[in-house]
Structure 1
Amino acid sequence: MFRTRHLKWVICESCAGNCKREHPAFSNGITSSEWAEWTPEEQETYMSGGYDVACDPCKGTGKVQVPDVSRMSFGEKREYVKYLREEAAERRLSREMAAEIAAERRMGC
Protein backbone atom coordinates (compact mmCIF):
# COMPACT_ATOMS: atom_id res chain seq x y z
CA MET A 1 0.00 0.00 0.00
CA PHE A 2 1.12 3.49 -0.78
CA ARG A 3 2.06 5.61 2.25
CA THR A 4 2.52 9.32 2.38
CA ARG A 5 3.06 11.84 5.10
CA HIS A 6 1.11 14.41 3.10
CA LEU A 7 -2.58 13.76 3.72
CA LYS A 8 -5.69 15.91 3.78
CA TRP A 9 -9.26 15.31 4.88
CA VAL A 10 -12.04 15.38 2.27
CA ILE A 11 -15.75 14.59 2.30
CA CYS A 12 -16.35 10.90 1.57
CA GLU A 13 -17.52 10.49 -2.04
CA SER A 14 -19.27 7.23 -1.26
CA CYS A 15 -21.77 8.67 1.23
CA ALA A 16 -21.36 12.41 0.44
CA GLY A 17 -20.52 13.03 4.09
CA ASN A 18 -23.76 11.52 5.39
CA CYS A 19 -21.91 8.68 7.18
CA LYS A 20 -24.50 6.14 6.00
CA ARG A 21 -25.31 4.26 2.82
CA GLU A 22 -28.26 2.27 1.62
CA HIS A 23 -28.09 -1.30 2.83
CA PRO A 24 -26.46 -3.52 0.16
CA ALA A 25 -29.50 -5.80 0.21
CA PHE A 26 -31.45 -3.01 -1.51
CA SER A 27 -28.81 -2.18 -4.13
CA ASN A 28 -30.92 -3.66 -6.94
CA GLY A 29 -34.04 -1.88 -5.76
CA ILE A 30 -37.36 -3.21 -4.54
CA THR A 31 -40.07 -4.50 -6.82
CA SER A 32 -43.61 -3.22 -6.45
CA SER A 33 -44.77 -6.68 -5.37
CA GLU A 34 -42.09 -6.78 -2.64
CA TRP A 35 -43.09 -3.27 -1.54
CA ALA A 36 -46.74 -4.35 -1.34
CA GLU A 37 -45.78 -7.23 0.99
CA TRP A 38 -44.17 -4.84 3.48
CA THR A 39 -46.14 -3.42 6.37
CA PRO A 40 -46.62 0.36 6.49
CA GLU A 41 -44.12 0.47 9.38
CA GLU A 42 -41.47 -1.33 7.29
CA GLN A 43 -42.11 1.01 4.37
CA GLU A 44 -41.73 4.05 6.64
CA THR A 45 -38.53 2.64 8.13
CA TYR A 46 -37.12 2.15 4.63
CA MET A 47 -38.12 5.62 3.45
CA SER A 48 -36.63 7.28 6.54
CA GLY A 49 -33.29 5.48 6.13
CA GLY A 50 -33.83 3.08 8.99
CA TYR A 51 -32.18 0.22 7.10
CA ASP A 52 -29.11 2.25 6.12
CA VAL A 53 -25.68 1.02 7.25
CA ALA A 54 -22.46 2.79 8.16
CA CYS A 55 -20.39 3.76 5.14
CA ASP A 56 -17.39 1.44 4.70
CA PRO A 57 -14.86 3.83 3.11
CA CYS A 58 -15.19 6.47 5.85
CA LYS A 59 -16.18 4.07 8.66
CA GLY A 60 -19.23 6.21 9.34
CA THR A 61 -17.35 9.48 9.89
CA GLY A 62 -18.28 11.23 6.63
CA LYS A 63 -14.66 12.07 5.81
CA VAL A 64 -11.60 10.27 4.48
CA GLN A 65 -7.92 11.03 4.25
CA VAL A 66 -6.44 11.27 0.79
CA PRO A 67 -2.93 12.08 -0.44
CA ASP A 68 -2.28 15.81 -0.83
CA VAL A 69 -0.41 15.79 -4.13
CA SER A 70 0.33 19.51 -3.94
CA ARG A 71 2.58 18.91 -0.92
CA MET A 72 4.43 15.87 -2.31
CA SER A 73 7.97 15.89 -3.57
CA PHE A 74 8.67 14.77 -7.14
CA GLY A 75 9.73 11.31 -5.92
CA GLU A 76 6.59 10.91 -3.81
CA LYS A 77 4.43 11.91 -6.78
CA ARG A 78 6.19 9.36 -8.96
CA GLU A 79 5.61 6.64 -6.32
CA TYR A 80 1.96 7.66 -5.99
CA VAL A 81 1.37 7.45 -9.76
CA LYS A 82 2.96 3.99 -9.78
CA TYR A 83 0.64 2.93 -6.94
CA LEU A 84 -2.44 4.27 -8.78
CA ARG A 85 -1.48 2.41 -11.96
CA GLU A 86 -1.00 -0.85 -10.04
CA GLU A 87 -4.38 -0.43 -8.32
CA ALA A 88 -6.09 0.25 -11.65
CA ALA A 89 -4.48 -2.85 -13.16
CA GLU A 90 -5.68 -4.97 -10.23
CA ARG A 91 -9.23 -3.63 -10.54
CA ARG A 92 -9.22 -4.29 -14.29
CA LEU A 93 -8.00 -7.86 -13.73
CA SER A 94 -10.69 -8.44 -11.09
CA ARG A 95 -13.41 -7.19 -13.46
CA GLU A 96 -12.10 -9.43 -16.27
CA MET A 97 -12.02 -12.46 -13.98
CA ALA A 98 -15.54 -11.77 -12.71
CA ALA A 99 -16.81 -11.41 -16.29
CA GLU A 100 -15.15 -14.69 -17.28
CA ILE A 101 -16.64 -16.50 -14.29
CA ALA A 102 -20.08 -15.08 -15.08
CA ALA A 103 -19.77 -16.19 -18.72
CA GLU A 104 -18.78 -19.71 -17.64
CA ARG A 105 -21.75 -19.90 -15.29
CA ARG A 106 -24.09 -18.83 -18.09
CA MET A 107 -22.70 -21.71 -20.19
CA GLY A 108 -23.31 -24.12 -17.33
CA CYS A 109 -19.71 -24.65 -16.26
Structure 2
Amino acid sequence: MAGTDRGEARVVALRPRPSGDAWDDPGRLIDTWMHSPHPPAHDPDTLIIAWLAALPRSVPPPKAARSLLRRLAPASCHSLSAAHRRLFDLLAHVASHTRVPNPANDPHRLESDPS
Protein backbone atom coordinates (compact mmCIF):
# COMPACT_ATOMS: atom_id res chain seq x y z
CA MET A 1 0.00 0.00 0.00
CA ALA A 2 1.22 3.46 -0.77
CA GLY A 3 0.06 6.71 0.74
CA THR A 4 -1.52 9.51 -1.25
CA ASP A 5 -1.26 13.27 -0.77
CA ARG A 6 -4.50 13.31 1.22
CA GLY A 7 -3.17 10.82 3.74
CA GLU A 8 -5.41 8.06 2.38
CA ALA A 9 -4.10 4.62 1.63
CA ARG A 10 -4.54 3.17 -1.81
CA VAL A 11 -4.15 -0.41 -2.87
CA VAL A 12 -1.78 -1.08 -5.72
CA ALA A 13 -2.58 -4.42 -7.31
CA LEU A 14 -0.15 -6.68 -9.11
CA ARG A 15 -1.85 -6.88 -12.47
CA PRO A 16 -0.43 -8.44 -15.59
CA ARG A 17 -0.06 -6.04 -18.50
CA PRO A 18 -0.93 -7.91 -21.69
CA SER A 19 0.82 -5.45 -23.98
CA GLY A 20 4.41 -6.37 -24.64
CA ASP A 21 4.10 -9.81 -23.09
CA ALA A 22 7.30 -11.81 -22.95
CA TRP A 23 7.38 -15.60 -22.74
CA ASP A 24 9.48 -15.39 -19.56
CA ASP A 25 7.46 -12.60 -17.93
CA PRO A 26 3.73 -12.85 -18.69
CA GLY A 27 2.05 -9.54 -18.10
CA ARG A 28 5.47 -7.94 -17.65
CA LEU A 29 5.14 -8.24 -13.86
CA ILE A 30 8.88 -8.43 -13.15
CA ASP A 31 9.91 -5.99 -15.88
CA THR A 32 7.37 -3.38 -14.76
CA TRP A 33 8.42 -3.73 -11.12
CA MET A 34 12.12 -3.46 -12.00
CA HIS A 35 11.74 -0.37 -14.16
CA SER A 36 9.18 1.49 -12.08
CA PRO A 37 10.21 5.10 -11.43
CA HIS A 38 8.66 4.82 -7.97
CA PRO A 39 9.82 2.57 -5.15
CA PRO A 40 8.33 -0.91 -5.51
CA ALA A 41 4.95 -1.20 -3.80
CA HIS A 42 5.18 -4.97 -3.36
CA ASP A 43 7.86 -7.01 -1.72
CA PRO A 44 9.91 -9.29 -3.99
CA ASP A 45 8.53 -12.46 -2.40
CA THR A 46 4.97 -11.50 -3.33
CA LEU A 47 6.11 -10.52 -6.80
CA ILE A 48 7.78 -13.90 -7.39
CA ILE A 49 4.64 -15.73 -6.28
CA ALA A 50 2.51 -13.62 -8.65
CA TRP A 51 5.00 -14.23 -11.48
CA LEU A 52 5.02 -17.99 -10.87
CA ALA A 53 1.22 -18.02 -10.86
CA ALA A 54 1.12 -16.09 -14.15
CA LEU A 55 3.56 -18.37 -15.97
CA PRO A 56 1.81 -20.71 -18.41
CA ARG A 57 2.11 -24.41 -17.61
CA SER A 58 4.15 -24.85 -20.78
CA VAL A 59 6.91 -22.51 -19.52
CA PRO A 60 9.37 -24.09 -17.09
CA PRO A 61 9.92 -21.61 -14.24
CA PRO A 62 13.68 -22.32 -14.00
CA LYS A 63 14.14 -21.58 -17.71
CA ALA A 64 12.07 -18.38 -17.44
CA ALA A 65 13.98 -17.26 -14.35
CA ARG A 66 17.33 -17.82 -16.10
CA SER A 67 16.10 -15.79 -19.06
CA LEU A 68 14.96 -12.94 -16.82
CA LEU A 69 18.26 -12.92 -14.96
CA ARG A 70 20.19 -12.70 -18.24
CA ARG A 71 17.92 -9.93 -19.49
CA LEU A 72 17.44 -7.81 -16.37
CA ALA A 73 20.34 -8.36 -13.98
CA PRO A 74 22.97 -5.63 -14.07
CA ALA A 75 26.67 -6.45 -14.17
CA SER A 76 27.04 -5.04 -10.66
CA CYS A 77 24.44 -5.30 -7.91
CA HIS A 78 26.08 -2.71 -5.66
CA SER A 79 23.80 0.12 -6.79
CA LEU A 80 20.60 -1.91 -6.42
CA SER A 81 18.19 -1.52 -3.55
CA ALA A 82 17.79 -4.35 -1.07
CA ALA A 83 14.41 -5.19 -2.65
CA HIS A 84 15.96 -5.50 -6.11
CA ARG A 85 18.79 -7.67 -4.79
CA ARG A 86 16.20 -9.89 -3.06
CA LEU A 87 14.29 -10.24 -6.33
CA PHE A 88 17.43 -11.36 -8.16
CA ASP A 89 18.24 -13.79 -5.33
CA LEU A 90 14.74 -15.29 -5.62
CA LEU A 91 15.00 -15.56 -9.40
CA ALA A 92 18.38 -17.27 -9.00
CA HIS A 93 16.80 -19.69 -6.53
CA VAL A 94 14.01 -20.55 -8.99
CA ALA A 95 16.56 -20.85 -11.82
CA SER A 96 18.61 -23.36 -9.83
CA HIS A 97 15.80 -25.91 -9.71
CA THR A 98 14.60 -28.40 -12.24
CA ARG A 99 11.03 -29.06 -13.19
CA VAL A 100 9.63 -32.54 -13.09
CA PRO A 101 7.55 -32.86 -16.25
CA ASN A 102 4.26 -34.65 -15.76
CA PRO A 103 4.57 -35.91 -12.19
CA ALA A 104 2.47 -38.99 -11.54
CA ASN A 105 0.10 -37.11 -9.21
CA ASP A 106 -0.58 -34.23 -11.65
CA PRO A 107 -4.26 -34.32 -12.69
CA HIS A 108 -3.55 -31.87 -15.54
CA ARG A 109 -0.73 -33.61 -17.35
CA LEU A 110 0.86 -31.79 -20.25
CA GLU A 111 0.49 -33.36 -23.67
CA SER A 112 4.17 -32.87 -24.40
CA ASP A 113 7.29 -32.08 -22.42
CA PRO A 114 7.76 -28.25 -22.35
CA SER A 115 11.50 -28.47 -23.01
Larger radius of gyration: 1
Tell me the TM-score normalised to structure 1 length. Answer: 0.24
Q: Which has the higher contact order (CA 8 A, sep 6+)?
A: 1
Tell me the TM-score normalised to structure 2 length. Answer: 0.23
